[in-house]
Amino acid sequence: MSGATTTHVDGVPFQDSVTHSDTAPGSSLQVLPASFYASRLSHASLRRREDGIRALLPLESRPGLISLLAGKPNSETFPITSLQFNIRDPFTPNGETTMQLSEEELNIGLQYTLTSGLPDLREWIFGLQERLHGRRKGEGWTVTVGAGSQDMIFKGVNALMNPGDAILVETPVYAGTLTIFQALDAEMIEVETDSHGVCSRSMREMLENWPSSKPKPKFFYTVPYGSNPTGSTATLERRLEVLALSREHDFFILEDDPYYNLYFGSSSRPPSYFELEKDQPEVGRVLRFDSLSKIMSSGLRVGFASGPESILKAMDLHSMAVNLQASSFSQMIALKVLSAWGYDGFTAHTARVAQFYRQKRDVFEAAMQRHLAGLAEWTSPEAGMFFWFKLLLNEPGSGVEGEGDSEYIIRTTALERGVLALPGATFYPNPRKTPYVRASFSLLPEDQVDEALRRLREVVLEARKANGSKRS
Amino acid sequence: MAVKSLPAEFYSAFLSDAAKERKPSPIRGLYPLEARPGVISLLAGKPNATTFPLTSVKLTSRSPADPSKEIETEVSGQALAEGLQYGPTAGIPSLLEWVYDLQQREHGRKKGEGWRVSIGSGSQDVIYKAVATMVNPGDAVLIECPAYAGVLPMFQALHCDLIEVETDAQGIKSSSLRSILQNWSENKPKPKVLYTVPYGCNPTGMTATLDRRREVLALAQEHNFIILEDDPYYFLYYGNAARYPSYFSLELEEPEVGRVLRFDSLSKILSSGIRIGFASGPEPLLQAIDMHTAVANLQTSSLTQAIAFSLLDAWGYDGFKTHTETVSRFYREKRDVFEVAMRRHLSGLAEWSTPEAGMFFWFKLLLVKDGEEGDSESIIRTKAYERGVLALPGTVFLPRGGKTAYVRASFSLLGEEEVEEAVKRLRETILEARAQAA
């Protein structure tokens, strides 16, 4: 396998595992070439220097050569001698299996590894992406493992925009990514969303009326399944239109998909952007982020990016400077579980997880109907773990201006009545007042959900009364 | 007598623009409200842990007191639940407590002295964040020379003016540092940070003596800079002299504490792949580091923290200490093997000072008789390579680059026979280079 070797500075080698090709062998896929990315990577990426040790590592492969290069600690000194854990069987609800790391696996887990991730874990991921999204090796993309998808998104964004650049952000948007954009002084162009996901028509209008003197946005950030906070899932038509726009107006699509496996809608699943781009005239605009946080463990901190080689290479260079690699140990545990499941087990497990959240959604929805019908507006989510709803803080015909401010209500009335939900204002790039709130239905048992929403009902009623009496 | 620490306001001058611009997450402001009695919270977007497949974790580790025996520890129940779920940015409480205890025992530092701890995904992670937190693009930064190549890209990315401070067999040369600072041009802002690896410096292997440390601390006071004490080989000290206190410990001798930001790592004593390290230092700086973490990667893995804690807790502090001594002895023996080979083959052909900590030999290839130093890089790539041996050219460790005849060799991995053969090949390489130069 050819490809440049890149390493963590103390001599741990890694190799890009995919050779770059403009056309995938044996297919008609038109893969965007490396030169396409060279002009689109951020200045920070292009400035990143590879360290001097890199250049020497290929020399280590000379037969018979003894190398004194690598500053790795000797794993004989690592005291952990075995690791064993139990996992629930994905096929039988009460079954458990004991997994034990082999000596080799333990050694791998305890030592530095390649920046892009444990080789076997990467292979498993390639297999998963083929299985779930129909994407194969040799299509100009590769994978890299990160310390959670937050880590990967942070690096992906840093690779693709310069401070001050304009970017398209579906709105409302996950607050955790907002902070990444803010840290880079992004000019966040809000793209509205509705129950079908991103409003692609609105995006089209915006882009077609873009001032010619101003550089167009670098990328569009979206959480297409069970968006945080709105819970909406983008339909196929919306996705296709966004893909067309990404070609017409030359921007990347950052597909942040942590709830992909938490889809419990009744209609058939829309394909991911990563899958859909395969049928586009050109491939290589989608940078996809997956997470194990909602399906295996959020504390483990394992996520991965799949996308154009040039972009992932830039992200790896970034990793080398800042945190070297995702924990080998965490990766080995994840790999062990995933290998034990196989892809069928993975599907079975995620189906069970999706069912779990569906039931929780149903409980929440029933309580919403019971307590908030007529006092709030919402669309039922078909993926993820959030309800996004608008508190109707003014009585119809009350003549009160504006829709109200949920943040104020939460910090005062709601708090007093013993219920907390997240004010919608948190999720907007540009500050605004909004009557929306986000509630998570992942954790609470049925009785607490009922009580929480009963209290929220009281809150809304109280607010309406107060607003009504303002009118003199 | 109570320890006096520098006030919080002192650190505004030490925070970078990027750090100052970071806004606290609005969501975080709400979480404290959850503590109100009787409140039902719909805030947290945490996944439900009943969907996580892991149900128990068991590990065995060598008993520090008797490595032929194994200790079994378990992460289960509440500890496992905590390990599998999102956790606090700065680290899980149990591991943090262990670190506080360690810092008290090792460095005499107690809580309530204006400092706190954050767990990082390896010390590289928190060092990077500390640099981003304190250094603005273009800033001048004091850095010992040669320096760990892994930090150079951090400063280079910020276009820093890297001010090289000389080092010798006693570690950082405080006289060089003094001279730099006394002759500093009034027009330029003084450097705010000094980066140093005081034990078993990578690459030189040298350990800063007590006198040098005290002088550096005095200069930090006088010229108002903060010491970034990167100490991954602190527990890999095997010198004959009594151990020198860390900067973190020594600053207790100063009128006020708060000029040291210390980095520890478990990479050389527990596992490099597990990715656990920690920063200890002034609260405002740690706060800024945590805010960076909240954006960049949320937290260090809760599970690896829980696993590390279960082991460390089972060992107790004494067990931990015993283990580090065993590790230390291991590297000492490896050093001895390497040094024997060097004496045998490289006397008169190379110059070096014997390291008393860490895993590196730093030696100058005597490539020419006199006059110019020579360039190890070209020798390595050609003659050494042809003869089947590679050592790291010293140039990669020079903050400002440049030619040098020095090389770094790691003695951590190779067995005795390979060391013997490698050093012999180096001998032949040097002889060939000298013959050619003559």
- Closest partner residue to A440 (CB to CB) among B43, B50, B121 is B43
pTM of the prediction? 0.93
In this prediction, residue A23 carries a pLDDT of: 45
Same domain, A379 and A290: no
Q: Rounded to an integer, what distance in angstroms lies between the CA atom of residue B52 and that of residue A88?
A: 9
Please report the pLDDT score of residue B40 as a whole number.
Answer: 95
For B322, other C-beta atoms within 10 Å of its C-beta total 17
Query: In chain B, what are the helix, strand and coil shares in percent, each to the nearest 5?
Result: 45, 20, 40
Question: How much is the pLDDT for B370?
Answer: 66
pLDDT for residue A48: 87
Count CB atoms within 10 A of the CB of residue A210.
Answer: 15
Answer whether B40 sits within 8 Å of A419, measured CB to CB: yes
Please choose, from the candidates B144, B100, B142, B139, the residue with its C-alpha nearest in 3D space to the C-alpha of residue B119. Answer: B100
Q: Which of A306, A325, A342 is the last residue of a domain?
A: A342
Residues A255, A362, single domain; the answer is no
Distance in Å, alpha carbon of B230 to nearest chain A alpha carbon: 15
Look at residue A18 and tell me if it is in a domain. no
A67 belongs to a structural domain: no
Q: What type of residue sits at position A202? A: S
In a domain, A69, yes or no: no
In this structure, the answer to whether residues A403 and A336 fall within a common structural domain is no
Distance CA B136, CA B192 (A): 10
pLDDT for residue A15? 42
- The C-alpha atoms of residue B224 and residue A8 are separated, in whole angstroms, by 33
- Phi and psi of A411, rounded to 5°? -70, -20
Q: Does the residue A106 lie in any domain? A: yes
Q: Measured between beta carbons, which residues in chain B are less than 8 angstroms from residue A151?
A: 296-298
Residue of B nearest to A70 (CA): B410
What's the confidence (pLDDT) of residue A53?
A: 72
Q: Which of A342, A363, A392 is the last residue of a domain?
A: A342
In B, which residues are within 8 Å of A329 by CB distance? Answer: 271, 273-275, 301, 304, 307
Distances, alpha carbon B64 to alpha carbons A79, A354, A411, B72, B233, in Å = 8, 45, 53, 13, 19
Would A25 be classed as within a structural domain?
no
Q: Are B258 and B14 in contact (CB under 8 A)?
A: no
Residues A453 and A239: their CA atoms lie apart, in Å, by 34
Contact criterion met (CB < 8 Å) for B275 and A328: yes
Are both A307 and A364 inside the same structural domain?
no
Domain that holds residue A433: 350-471
Question: A436 with A336, same domain?
Answer: no
Residues of chain B neighbouring A326 (CB-CB closer than 8 A): 275
In a domain, A35, yes or no: no
Residues of A in contact with B271 (CB under 8 A): 78, 80, 109-111, 329
pLDDT at position A201 is 97
Residue A438 is part of a domain; what is its CATH number?
Answer: 3.90.1150.10
Q: For residue B306, give Cα distances in angstroms to A334, B52, B72, B96.
A: 16, 16, 14, 11
Tell me: ipTM over 0.95. Answer: no
| Res B24: pLDDT | 77
Q: Touching check for B400 and chain A: CB below 8 Å?
A: no
Helix count (H) and strand count (E) of chain A? 14, 18
Q: One digit per residue, pLDDT tens: chain A, 472 residues?
A: 333 333 344 544 444 433 444 444 545 789 999 999 999 999 999 988 776 676 677 888 899 999 999 888 999 999 999 999 999 998 887 889 999 999 999 999 999 999 999 999 999 999 999 999 999 999 999 999 999 999 999 999 999 999 999 999 999 999 999 999 999 999 999 999 999 999 999 999 999 999 999 999 999 999 999 999 999 999 999 999 999 999 999 999 999 999 999 999 999 999 999 999 999 999 999 999 999 999 999 999 999 999 999 999 999 999 998 988 999 999 999 999 999 999 999 999 999 999 999 999 999 999 999 999 999 999 999 999 999 999 999 888 777 777 899 999 999 999 999 999 999 999 999 989 999 999 999 999 999 999 999 999 999 999 999 877 665 4
Q: Which residues of chain B have pLDDT under 50?
A: none
Q: Is A358 domain-assigned?
A: yes
pLDDT in tens, B317-338: 999 999 999 999 999 999 999 9
The total domain count for chain A is 2
Taking an 8 Å cut-off on Cβ atoms, the answer to whether B47 and A53 are in contact is no
Q: Read off the CATH number of the domain in which A296 is found.
A: 3.40.640.10
User: Angle of helix A200-208 relative to helix A236-248, nearest 10 degrees?
Assistant: 20
Distance, in Å, from the CA atom of A357 to the CA atom of A351, rounded to the nearest integer, reads 10
User: Of A298, A320, A342, which residue is a domain's last?
Assistant: A342
Nearest residue on chain B to A354, alpha-carbon basis: B51
Which uninterrupted H or E stretch holds A166? strand A166-171
Is the same domain home to A217 and A269? Answer: yes
Look up tokens 């907007």; give the residue.
A428
Task: Give residue-wise pLDDT tens across range B9-55.
Answer: 999 999 999 999 998 777 777 888 888 999 999 998 899 999 999 99
- Contact assignment for B61 to A182 by CB distance below 8 Å: no
Report how far residue B240's alpha carbon sits from residue B380's, in angstroms, rounded to the nearest whole number. 33
Q: What is the least distance, in Å, from the CA of A196 to any CA of chain B? A: 22
Domain co-membership, A256 together with A324: yes
How many residues are given for chain B?
438
Note whether A273 and A316 are same-domain residues: yes
Do residues A405 and A318 share a domain? no
Dist. CA A457–CA A367, nearest whole Å: 11
Question: If you measure CA to CA, which chain A residue comes closest to B420?
Answer: A66
pLDDT value, residue B31: 81
pLDDT number for residue A397:
77
- Same domain, residue pair A95 and A168: yes
Residues A249 and A313 in one domain: yes
Residue A294 lies in a domain: yes
Strands (E), A17-165: 66-67, 80-88, 96-100, 141-146
Give pairs for B94-101: CB < 8 Å, separation 24+.
Answer: B94/B306, B94/B309, B94/B313, B95/B119, B95/B305, B95/B306, B95/B308, B95/B309, B95/B312, B98/B309, B98/B312, B98/B313, B99/B264, B99/B278, B99/B280, B101/B317
Q: Please check whether residues A383 and A465 belong to one and the same domain.
A: yes
